[in-house]
Amino acid sequence: MPPLREALLHYWGYDSFRPLQAEAMRAVVEHRDSVVVLPTGGGKSICFQAPAVTMPGLAVVVSPLISLMKDQVDALIECGIPAAGVNSSLPPRELLRVADRVRRGELKLLYVAPERLCTEKMLSFLDDANVSFFAIDEAHCISAWGHDFRPEYRMLKQLRARFPKAGVHAYTATATQQVRDDIIQQLGLRNAEQLVGSFDRANLIYRVVRKSDILKQVRQVIDSHAGESGIVYCISRREVDEIAEALSRAGYKAKPYHAGLSDHDRHKHQDEFLNDDIQIVVATVAFGMGIDKSDVRFVVHTGSPKSLEHYQQETGRAGRDSLDADCWLFWTVANFITWRKMLSDLPPDAFKQSDESLRSMERFCNGVVCRHKALVEHFGQSYPGTNCGACDVCLDQLELVADSKIIAQKILSCVVRLKESFGAGYVAQILTGSQEARIMDSGHDQISTYGLLKEHAKSHVQDWIEQLASQNYMKRVAVRSGDFQVLAVTPEGWQVLRGEVAPNLLRPAEKKGKAARGTRTETASTASWDGVDRGLFDVLRGVRRKLATERGVPPFIVFGDTTLRDLARQVPTTLEAFRHAHGVGDKKTAEYGDVFVETIRLYCAEHGLAADQGQGVESATAAPSPSNPRTNSRRAEAPIETKPVSTLVSKQIAFDMFQAGQSLPEVMAATNRAKSTVSEYLVEFIHEMEISNPEPWVDAATFARVMAAARIVGIEKLRPLFETLEENVTYDAIRIAVACLQHLPPEEAEAAMVEP
């Protein structure tokens, strides 16, 4: 495994494997087929990306969505790995360029959609491409038993016969044993090794609450995450539009996303979310699979999903960086009635399967056990321990009713007294002593169970009815062609009436300080912030955003929040120390090290912060766990040794030296500034003086190459220029050349930008 360890450290900045990563990578390099199931944030992608860079030939990755493909390719390029994607959004010129790079053996990973991959033209092209292996991402899409079946994935079975020497590997975050078996069969895998990690997402904090004033509930969650990214999921498009509009009117940066919007609007809203131009996306479940955004800090469901598989997948879009994230589910009984109506046209077998999935979701909503435990056990695994410290049940936000058996007997008895002919709402009215006219007129105020629970709120009684139903002590029976459902007592319910069984019933807990307000315990919630200077973290976020905007990539592609927190914890003021921060590889050190290190040095000088508190690198995609916690106010007892001159003075010195025609290294030495900062000074100087000749800072040949690339992709973003120049002209040189290009005389500019 040494080559893989070296690749992890060199490209991604990790010095050890996460659980099952080593086993998954070994299967790839040993040419053994595999099915790998790791939770979102568990480092699935690296399981095939790291082997791809260590093996000869080209790895072909099947990816279902353009946006997901683009994010992963961008992230690989940022790490210094030659990768490309082939999809319908690319112009013919770019498709030809990718094909040429494949023929020349320059690429290590090629991302492609399943329907494009399985055309005879593409397969014939790959026959001569020395394919090392195929990686099927989001592999659950191939199974009709999965939660997001896509027929086009079924075409992938021909890969095994067409490329007998290439391994085929399937990767997903959610797959039961039935789905895993189906994946193996549909792909025709040979003696596939099955590697299944824990389904538990320990960093997610689950809360399940009855829906009341949903807009108020959603706003409370958003307000607890000021300035952070989140997703709000709704069942219907109408609710998406209503909530998105209401949030926008209230001043939140929120946009809708659903299939009813135009392609342009959907892509625009998704890009705005990825680029942190908006904070919140309100969406149907159509949104999410293409999202690789690592810093989603909350996911809200305004109604219950139709299965625990969907719930696991959708909540899994939060906290992909392994930092804490909140998952709120607001639900009502009406959600399940709606889902059953939507599924009623399915064939009997499919409806039976979907209905069972709904019942599992109902039991989860009404559950009285740890949410983490319930989810893990649903996927066939055991959960260690009894208290996760990260859900409403374990945080004491719900309370067990002390006299659950007696209350259950009163409810079940009322159903019997009403001859099992009425629904849950009416039963709750009888038990709470309602004097509604229809109750009085029917004489139901005279039955023995009338008013037996009048000391309790009707909403609490309705909750208990649902909890009894979810525990199979009652069931709903459809009457009048399914338009109306009545309650009936099950055999298990009769056991309760006879006193043989005692069910568990919950009610909302009274507020108990921090945990009751919906916060994980103090130790767990603050662990990822231990030793982090919050002010420096915010400054580094600004630097990240600027770099991302310039390159035309989402901020998390530059660095995730985990890396920024580690930088604000370690406070590195040298490139060597910067390289040892979590998630910083060689390419990113060379590309971003100067600007981040200089920013940190300036911050230390201005705030008296102690520098270089390094703790070393961490394992792949894991959040750092500081072994030496420190407070956020780690101020230096003395100023750092080299305090740079002020920005204003250094910029003036630089301008004077540029005017004299001096080089970047000479200006760097005189101002004690990094190359990236001096390059920014130079671009500002070029614009101020309207300079069109980049020499002596960029030679004429390089300037000509940049102009040629600009004819093809324009000059709005630097990333397309960088890629068109085959990644061998630095961003600093491109930035300087573009600045000069903007000041060419009109006739020269027109000639330069028109392809001969």
Three-state secondary structure of 133-155: EEEECCHHHHCCCCCCCCHHHHH
Label residue 510 by pLDDT band (50, 70, 90): low
Taking residue 652's Cβ as centre, other Cβ atoms within 10 Å add up to: 14
Q: Is the pLDDT of residue 617 over 50?
A: no
Report whether 133 contacts 190 (CB < 8 A): no
Report whether 20 contacts 197 (CB < 8 A): yes
Q: Is the pLDDT of residue 513 over 70?
A: no
Distance CA 595, CA 676 (A): 6
Distance CA 674, CA 681 (A): 11
Distance CA 504, CA 151 (A): 43
Determine the pLDDT at residue 391.
92
H or E element, residue 718: helix 718-724
* Both tokens assigned to 565: 């927190």
Label residue 647 by pLDDT band (50, 70, 90): low
Determine the pLDDT at residue 94.
87
Q: Give which of 393, 479, 466, 361 is closest to 424, Cα–Cα.
A: 466
Report whether 234 contacts 283 (CB < 8 A): yes
Estimate to the nearest angstrom the gap between the alpha carbon of 665 and the chain centroid: 41
Label residue 349 by pLDDT band (50, 70, 90): confident
Q: Give which of 188, 251, 180 is closest to 219, Cα–Cα.
A: 251
Determine the pLDDT at residue 508.
62
* Both tokens assigned to 618: 């961490």
Distance CA 523, CA 700 (A): 58
Distance CA 736, CA 742 (A): 10
| CB-count burial class (<10 Å; 0-12, 13-18, 19+) for 639 | exposed
CA angle in degrees (0–180, nearest 5) for 122-128-131: 80
| CB-count burial class (<10 Å; 0-12, 13-18, 19+) for 636 | middle
Distance CA 283, CA 281 (A): 6
Distance CA 401, CA 505 (A): 6
Determine the pLDDT at residue 192.
92
Report whether 519 contacts 394 (CB < 8 A): no
Determine the pLDDT at residue 518.
44
Residues 6+ apart with CB under 8 A from 748: 692
Report helix, strand or coil for 256: strand
Q: What is the mean pLDDT of residues 593-606?
A: 89
Q: Is the pLDDT of residue 523 over 70?
A: no
Q: Is the pLDDT of residue 269 over 60?
A: yes
Taking residue 683's Cβ as centre, other Cβ atoms within 10 Å add up to: 17
Percentage of the residues of the chain whose pLDDT score is greater than 90: 43
Taking residue 470's Cβ as centre, other Cβ atoms within 10 Å add up to: 19
Lookup result for tokens 């399915």: 346
Q: Give which of 606, 605, 604, 557 is closest to 583, Cα–Cα.
A: 557
Record the pTM: 0.72
Rg (C-alpha) for the chain, rounded Å, is 30
* Both tokens assigned to 469: 């139903």
Report whether 377 contacts 388 (CB < 8 A): no
Distance CA 180, CA 195 (A): 10
Q: Is the pLDDT of residue 482 over 80?
A: no
Determine the pLDDT at residue 99.
93
What domains does the chain contain, in order, with CATH numbers? 2-196 (3.40.50.300), 204-397 (3.40.50.300), 400-508 (1.10.10.10), 530-607 (1.10.150.80), 647-753 (no CATH)
Q: Give which of 397, 370, 390, 371 is closest to 513, Cα–Cα.
A: 397
Q: Is the pLDDT of residue 517 over 50?
A: no
Q: Is the pLDDT of residue 628 over 70?
A: no
DSSP annotation of 115 reads H
Lookup result for tokens 């309705």: 462
CA dist 500 → 490, 492, 731 (Å): 14, 9, 75
DSSP annotation of 398 reads E
Label residue 65 by pLDDT band (50, 70, 90): confident
Label residue 418 by pLDDT band (50, 70, 90): very high
Torsion of CA 613, 616, 621, 626, to 10 degrees: -50
Report whether 589 contacts 578 (CB < 8 A): yes
* Both tokens assigned to 436: 């509604």
The average confidence (pLDDT) of the chain is 85
* Both tokens assigned to 279: 């904070």
- Please tell me which residue, 676 or 541, carries the higher pLDDT value: 541
Lookup result for tokens 């969650």: 221
Determine the pLDDT at residue 727.
78
3-state per-residue secondary structure call for 478-523: EECCCCEEEEEECHHHHHHHCCCCCCCCEEECCCCCCHHHCCCCHH
Q: What is the mean pLDDT of residues 355-368?
A: 86
Q: Phi, psi at residue 172, to the nearest 5°?
A: -160, 165
Distance CA 94, CA 63 (A): 19
Each residue's pLDDT tens digit, 195-216: 998 889 999 999 999 888 999 9
| CB-count burial class (<10 Å; 0-12, 13-18, 19+) for 364 | buried
Q: Is the pLDDT of residue 640 over 60?
A: no
Determine the pLDDT at residue 525.
42
Distance CA 2, CA 744 (A): 52
Distance CA 153, CA 159 (A): 11
H or E element, residue 399: strand 398-400
Q: Is the pLDDT of residue 625 over 80?
A: no
Q: Is the pLDDT of residue 240 over 70?
A: yes
Lookup result for tokens 């230390």: 604
3-state per-residue secondary structure call for 348-371: HHHHHHHHHHHHHHHHHHCCCCCH
Report helix, strand or coil for 540: helix
Determine the pLDDT at residue 279.
94
Determine the pLDDT at residue 483.
57
Q: What is the mean pLDDT of residues 307-332?
A: 91
